[in-house]
Amino acid sequence: MTTTGTDAYEAIRAHHWALGDGLTERANAVFRAAVDRRPHEPAVADFVAYVGEEVLPHAAAEEKTIYPAVVAHTHLGNLLGQMHHNLDPAAPEESAHHIDCGHEAADPELDVRELRPAQRHEAVFDAYTDLAPGTGFVLVNDHDPKPLCYQFEAEHAGEFTWDALESGPAVWRVRVGRTPA
């Protein structure tokens, strides 16, 4: 039996809905326990177990299988960027990004931790677009920016550098550069 792109999409979508329903059910159980002044610990433990046993393994599996497809299909990189913009479409426009050019660092620092998630990729790509060949900046983030690297590979293959400087658990720093002309 051959799986079409539409079949795969529907399967992914159905599984995401099921995961979302599972999270909602467990969050509501925590809420009901608190409102009813019952012990909430069992509901919290069930929520945490569900996230650890279902949601996080699913996210890790997607990262290993679906995200790399971005590298092979440029249009998926564009879709990934659009996805982040769609997370918060009603958000008011803010400054695209802030680059802090410290005197001690060779490269300016782009700290996106205080931006809304929907604005982070746009800020990074704006900063990248402004780079002269052979220059770079240090991206500072509060989570592993691996999906962003996939998007760079899809949209700027061979034109950028990506050097991990610090890998969590609280802060990730990556030097993003434009290759020399």
pLDDT of 80-96, one tens digit each?
Answer: 555 555 555 554 444 33
Domain boundaries, the chain: 5-66, 99-178
- CATH superfamily of the 99-178 domain: TusA-like domain (3.30.110.40)
Q: What average pLDDT does range 120-140 have in this prediction?
A: 93
pLDDT score, position 110: 94
Which contacts (CB < 8 Å, 24+ apart) does range 73-78 have?
73/154, 74/154, 74/155, 76/154, 77/150, 77/151, 77/153, 77/154, 77/155, 78/154, 78/155
Q: Taking residues 22-26, what's their average pLDDT? A: 91
Residue 97 pLDDT > 50: no
Separation CA 77–CA 67 (nearest Å): 9
pLDDT score of 47 more than 80: yes
- Token couple for 48: 């945490």
Q: What tens digit of pLDDT does each residue of 144-157 get?
A: 999 999 999 999 99
Check if the beta carbon of residue 162 is closer than 8 Å to that of residue 144.
no
- Average pLDDT in the 32-58 region? 90
For residue 137, the model assigns a pLDDT of 95
Residue 86: the pLDDT is 56
What pLDDT was estimated at residue 29? 93
What does pTM read for this prediction? 0.45
Given pLDDT bands bounded at 50, 70 and 90, which one contains residue 63? confident
Q: How far apart are the C-alpha atoms of 151 and 166, rounded to whole Å?
A: 20
Outline where the chain has alpha helix (H): 5-35, 41-50, 56-65, 69-72, 74-86, 117-129, 146-156
Q: What is the mean pLDDT of the chain?
A: 80
Q: Is the pLDDT of residue 178 over 60?
A: yes
Strands 99-100 and 109-111: antiparallel
Instruction: Say what the pLDDT of residue 129 is.
Output: 93
Q: How confident is the model at residue 72 (pLDDT cuts 50, 70, 90)?
A: low
Range scoring the smallest mean pLDDT among 58-67, 68-77, 140-149: 68-77
H or E stretch including 52?
Answer: none
pLDDT at 89: 52
Helix axes 5-35, 41-50, angle to 10 degrees: 170
